[in-house]
Structure 1
């Protein structure tokens, strides 16, 4: 039996946690699920009360929320060196970017994909997306500056926030006019993360599952 089971849907926020599983070389299974289902998978519902991906079944119980799953895995496998540890002068910056990606970037990314979560009227959805994109432009400017000495947040050391950012920046829709090239540091960051064998293995699994669902 595998050490971990990842509840996952293709091309979702689960990619961050999935990439970390690959990066740490974990023994894991993927339980592919359908999101936004009126009849959610019972095991998934038990692991994730809002039926959001990812969720993780682990030796310590279940964990849900992207950042929580990724950080839990990284701390459980310190040999992978994906965490800036307490006592390190960079620890505050590590926590800052970890939470910034969840509390400031992610909400506006979600709006670009699902304005219907907030409004049912198409005109109000369009207005919400436009306002959100203005906010995203400022957030992306902040991240662009943070990655000046990259490719990663902490130079040549990849850490959990890098996986969380890159698995959102792969979606061009989050950039003004769908153009990442206006943010060369973020583009360099995305390229560096996506070049890692762990991320490539994860992406291949997601492509295969997406193709299976279309067949």
Structure 2
């Protein structure tokens, strides 16, 4: 049984969504990242103390995109990951990683500035730069969706899971205003049954 260590609105949502799409058995262990002390079981899996993390038998992994790729390779094949010879493979790879490296990561300085920093430091230059950079990278998503319903073409893939999380993070916590194209895209991705199940399961589990 795969254990997912995560939080209700964290990047662990990506991992749970992949598991639901693939129909794999798992359970969720909730982690409160603001807690003064963490569960030693969680720290044994990820001593760096951040989420998500998984335990799959003897395998312990962190980083949401890496975990997604591991699950699809280990328990696939799956339509979530196009084969290397697929004409859409390059776009799949690009947007799978853009969802984290080019979008979600940029939102972290904004989130910590707005919610954790002292009042006088919340509107800082670094957070403003990250917001501007997010908007620039969003052009790549918008341009791709102008020609196809999903980021790797006609079929839903893990790239959509990656980017959907980032877009939600941006609009929910960072004040990013999405356009009609992006909102229609989120309606498609978040309308999937596996997404709805993942939302329910992400709110379950043992709170550490």
Is the aligned partner of 1:159 residue 2:153? no
Residue of structure 2 in register with 1:186 after alignment = 182
Residue of structure 1 in register with 2:95 after alignment = 97
Structure 2 vs 1, CA of residues 150 and 52 (structure 1 numbering), >3 Å: closer, same or farther? Answer: farther
Q: Please, what TM-score do these two structures have when normalized by structure 2? A: 0.86
Cα offset for 1:20?
A: 0.5
Give unpaired runs (5+ residues) of structure 2: none
Find the aligned partners of 2:182 and 2:93 in 1 and give their Cα distance. 19
Residue of structure 1 in register with 2:105 after alignment = 107
Find the aligned partners of 2:61 and 2:75 in 1 and give their Cα distance. 16
After TM superposition, the runs of 4+ consecutive aligned structure 1 residues lying more than 6 A away are none
Cα offset for 1:120?
A: 5.3
Find the aligned partners of 1:120 and 1:149 in 2 and give their Cα distance. 40
Structure 2 vs 1, CA of residues 123 and 130 (structure 1 numbering), >3 Å: closer, same or farther? Answer: farther
Residue of structure 1 in register with 2:75 after alignment = 77
> 1:8·1:31 contact (CA, 8 Å) conserved in 2?
yes
Larger RCO: Structure 1 or Structure 2 (Cα < 8 Å, ≥ 6 residues apart)?
2
Cα offset for 1:44?
A: 1.4
Find the aligned partners of 2:184 and 2:48 in 1 and give their Cα distance. 34
Give unpaired runs (5+ residues) of structure 1: none
Residue of structure 1 in register with 2:144 after alignment = 146
Task: State the number of aligned residues.
Answer: 205
> 2:91·2:151 contact (CA, 8 Å) conserved in 1?
no
Cα offset for 1:174?
A: 5.9
Residue of structure 1 in register with 2:85 after alignment = 87
Q: Please, what TM-score do these two structures have when normalized by structure 1? A: 0.84
Question: Any idea what the Cα deviations from partners look like across 1:9-44, whole Å, max 9, x if unmatched?
Answer: 111111111111111001111111211333111121
